[in-house]
């Protein structure tokens, strides 16, 4: 079952707890540290374009890549409203293609965890290195093993809003390090407010350790720079649920 199809319609409603503006400022500050204040940036797993729009408003020329047509349709609606000149590409992270290089690549909201095969994640990192300008940087976040095992694993998360609600069942398999999300959505009909339609999707994410991420980065040709407890400048902790990583282009 394809992920982010029916969920795309209500994705922004349930992600309203993500401080995109604050995260964008964090990414901007890091890029300034590497003298990246303008130019073209790529966002991998851009979804409905929330972060893409934030970075575009800071003056960057943005490219967004996502494999969900439904999510990109919503991103393009936002682009129409803001007037930002953003290029959206319907592509998989594991095989994306660009026409040239970019100054930086970013990926937020644990998009890399959706790449559940180590070899495929290494290929993502290799492609990033290939499309970065010399000494360009790659900033991304990922969910940790601790989060899947201690916070999400075997837990049911439910939220109810006026126009929609969801039930999110999590099953974490420690042996293969895969977290399975069974998502049930109830979305209010636009034609009949008394009617709610039920949809179901299944999502899979892979838990990676920071050491494994480092190894794959270096095998892909990138240079590992640093890791932080998510969207801070503090070192990762055992209890970190999300970690931000910085890597740099290190030759093709």
137 and 228 in contact (C-beta within 8 Å)?
A: no
Q: Which pLDDT value is given to residue 244? A: 98
How far from chain centre, in Å, is Cα 200? 21
> Helix/strand/coil (H, E, C) string of the chain?
CCCCCCHHHHHHHHCCCCCHHHHHHHHHHHHHHCCCCCCEEEEECCCCCHHHHHHHHCCCEEEEEECCHHHHHHHHHHHHHHCCCCEEEECCHHHCCCCCCEEEEEECCCHHHHCCCHHHHHHHHHHHHHHEEEEEEEEEEEECHHHHHHHHCCCEEEEECCCEEEEEEEEEECCCCEEEEEEEEEEECCCCCCCEEEEEEEEEEECCCHHHHHHHHHHCCCEEEEEEECCCCCCCCCCCCEEEEEEECCCC
Q: Which pLDDT value is given to residue 1? A: 36
Q: Which pLDDT value is given to residue 2? A: 47
169 and 181 in contact (C-beta within 8 Å)?
A: yes
210 and 204 in contact (C-beta within 8 Å)?
A: no
User: Along the chain (252 residues), what's the average pLDDT of each consecutive run of 10 residues?
Assistant: 55 80 97 95 96 97 95 95 97 96 97 97 98 97 97 89 86 96 86 84 95 98 98 96 97 76
Q: Which pLDDT value is given to residue 6? A: 56
- Domains with residue ranges and CATH for the chain: 7-143+208-248 (3.40.50.150), 146-206 (2.20.25.110)
Other residues' Cβ atoms within 10 Å of the Cβ of residue 75: 23
Calculate what percentage of the chain has a pLDDT beyond 70: 95
Q: Which pLDDT value is given to residue 117? A: 97
Q: Is the pTM of this model over 0.75?
A: yes
> For 148-195, what is each residue's pLDDT tens digit?
999 998 899 888 887 888 899 999 999 999 999 998 888 888 788 888
Q: Which pLDDT value is given to residue 9? A: 67
Q: Which pLDDT value is given to residue 170? A: 94
């Amino acid at each position: 079952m394809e992920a982010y199809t029916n969920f795309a319609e209500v994705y922004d409603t349930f992600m309203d707890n993500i401080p995109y503006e604050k995260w964008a400022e964090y990414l901007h500050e890091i890029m300034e540290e590497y003298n990246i204040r303008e130019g073209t940036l790529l966002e991998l797993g851009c979804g409905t374009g929330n972060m893409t729009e934030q970075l575009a408003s800071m003056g960057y020329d943005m490219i967004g890549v996502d494999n969900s047509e439904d999510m990109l349709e919503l991103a393009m609606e936002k682009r129409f409203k803001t007037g930002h000149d953003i290029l959206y590409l319907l592509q998989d992270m594991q095989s994306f293609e660009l026409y040239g290089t970019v100054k930086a690549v970013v990926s937020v909201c644990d998009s890399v965890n959706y790449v559940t095969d180590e070899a495929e994640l290494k290929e993502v990192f290799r492609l990033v290195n290939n499309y970065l300008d010399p000494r360009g940087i790659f900033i991304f976040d990922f969910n940790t093993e601790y989060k899947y095992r201690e916070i999400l694993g075997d837990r049911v998360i439910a939220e109810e809003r006026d126009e929609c609600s969801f039930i999110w069942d999590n099953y974490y398999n420690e042996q293969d390090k895969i977290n399975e999300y069974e998502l049930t959505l109830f979305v209010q009909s636009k034609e009949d407010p008394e009617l709610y339609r039920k949809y179901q999707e299944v999502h899979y994410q892979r838990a990676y350790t920071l050491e494994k991420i480092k190894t794959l980065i270096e095998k892909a040709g990138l240079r590992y720079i640093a890791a932080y407890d998510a969207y801070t400048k503090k070192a990762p902790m055992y209890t970190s649920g999300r970690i931000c990583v910085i890597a740099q282009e290190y030759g093709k």
